[in-house]
Amino acid sequence: MAMITKSTELLKAQENGLPVVALESTIITHGMPFPQNLETARMVEDDIRAAGAVPATMAVIDGTLHAGLEPDQLEALAQARDVDKVSRADMAVCMSLGRTGATTVAATMIAARLAGISVFATGGIGGVHRGAEDTFDISADLAELGQTAVTVVAAGAKAILDVPKTLEVLETYGVPVIAYGQPDMPAFWSRHSDLPAPLSMSSAQDIAKAHRMRAALGLPGGQLVANPVPEEDEIPAAQINPIIAQALAEATEQGITAKQVTPFLLQRIFELTEGRSLVTNIALVRNNARLAAEIAHHLV
């Protein structure tokens, strides 16, 4: 049986050797309300098309894994309720039970590999949660980057995480972490941090060449490209860090744990910034999609 169903647009693109960029779907189902989620998903897809590439949003719909969604499927997903948030551990269960699931970074990487897509754009990856030395709460995204050969373009790890520990785990898994155009790691909503980037590159072509070289060496795993948010859209670290600290303290006080931590923190930060964090989030996703499209051009 076919493990994945490709959209009409994706089939045509691959038949004609066009560059393709994978997209996740949790930002649609779990990231923002309808209709803003649908409008954002369409904008990101159109950004990729405007850059001369083809978007492929991943999702599980009624048990079928889709690479690329038809317009009506995207609209239905944006309004769907009780959608699972699937990662490596529960992706197969969601499919076998005929459920609908939105793909996390890890699940999107798996879907991209099955669909023959080498580049994926997202907002920020998951990582090591603060307090992980007690909870062992570490995102499956990191292990996926260590084993699935997809180049992921993000604005770094989400700033609510323990970024230094996240970088250490990525190093252990042999994942190249490449800051784009600057020597330090971007910090999701902010362009800069006090963390030096393990690697730095300033051209999409060089990133694509490194992707191909890893394949030639037979190395498993992908690359993480940390792309800073555009300057006009960032929330400087001095402004966002106290807000993150407040949200983290509230999560601890309220006993928020496991998969509920990230949604709680993002919602509180949205409230405390009066919506500015979401505006920045949308801007950085679009920026990452444009860079991913440029990288994809060099991989066809």
Angle between helices 237-253 and 261-272 (to 10 degrees): 130
Compute φ and ψ for 147, nearest 5 degrees.
-130, -15
> What is the C-alpha separation between 21 and 197, in angstroms, rounded?
24
Binding residue ranges for Mn(2+)? 137
Burial of residue 228 (CB within 10 Å: 0-12, 13-18, 19+) is buried
The residue type at 213 = M
Contact status, residue 7 vs residue 69, Cβ threshold 8 Å: yes
Residue 209 among the catalytic residues: no
Binding residue ranges for substrate? 85, 105, 139-141
Binding residue ranges? 85, 105, 137, 139-141
Catalytic residue (one of 6, 45, 158, 234): 158
> What is the C-alpha separation between 223 and 66, in angstroms, rounded?
23
Residue 171 among the catalytic residues: no
Catalytic residue (one of 24, 45, 144, 234): 24
Residues annotated as catalytic are 24, 158
